[in-house]
Structure 1
Amino acid sequence: MDAAFGMEYLHSRNIVHFDLKCDNLLVNLKDPSRPICKVADFGLSKIKRNTLVTGGVRGTLPWMAPELLNGGSNKVSEKVDVFSFGIVLWEILTGEEPYANMHYGAIIGGIVNNTLRPPVPSFCDPEWRLLMEQCWAPDPMLRPSFPEIARRLRTMSAASITRPQGLATQTQLSK
């Protein structure tokens, strides 16, 4: 949720991160009962003014949205960060790096052709699955905004607190 709140703030300031991934999320564990996550590494960030992607590809391949890879347009929106966040949700769920054993060419082709997304484990909470899959939708217009993502994560978190102890889902157990 903290990462979603951070991205909501960045987008409210018209900043596109372009390299959102777990490696760029810092967690402060000073208070173990309430770790705090911060979004970091703004080296590729740009202020959005009909954001033009120039000077080559921006980001880290497995987290890159199809519109950054297909070369069809050099104008992108903040929805490239939403796509990446969907991959981050998968990373948090599985503890794995997406497409770790694949060659770059296969990853690029699969993302661009919308035939490649990380496999969702069977134990995944249905709401978490839906949010991930909506974030990595091929069409940027179909991806949720960060205010919507933050709202949904807040609702999921509140539901997990009110759920009886014995009914915790695997998603909560793996967080």
Structure 2
Amino acid sequence: MEDKYALAKRFREVILNGTWIANTNYNDQLTNLDWKIATTQHQSLNTIAALAQHIHYYINGITNVFKGGNLDIRDKYSFDFPPITSATQWQAFLTKFWNDAEAFAQHIEQMPEAQLHGKFVAEKYGTYYRNIDAMIEHSYYHLGQIVLIKKLLLTTNN
């Protein structure tokens, strides 16, 4: 399997449909999760919604580069989102998250191998491959947080 197909598969696994690494994924954890739970803060931890929006922020920022745009995302803005205040807003966000994640994976699959191993925006950022791999790892890191926070909240609220 070419690198790009393996990366796209790994990305889909963590966000959309896999169980290979964590025995779960964002879709499993967030679909059917009540918006009130998703937006509840436990002590000083980020909310589940904020963590999901954070990952979505990076997916969109990297996708913009895939499309030939600039790398406009900044860490300092990666948790700046308007609050989700209804089930409708939560569902709309999730729909956008799943659609944008699938588009991200499709961009990877369509990428020429030479580009995949080429410079991502600037030398200091490494290659496209490295950035896609980092996006996958970053997603797993926050998925673990989401799983734990969800368990804390569901245990506390029962």
TM-score normalised by structure 1 residue count: 0.27
Give the strand-richer structure, 1 or 2.
1
Q: Which has the higher contact order (CA 8 A, sep 6+)?
A: 2
Give the helix-richer structure, 1 or 2.
2
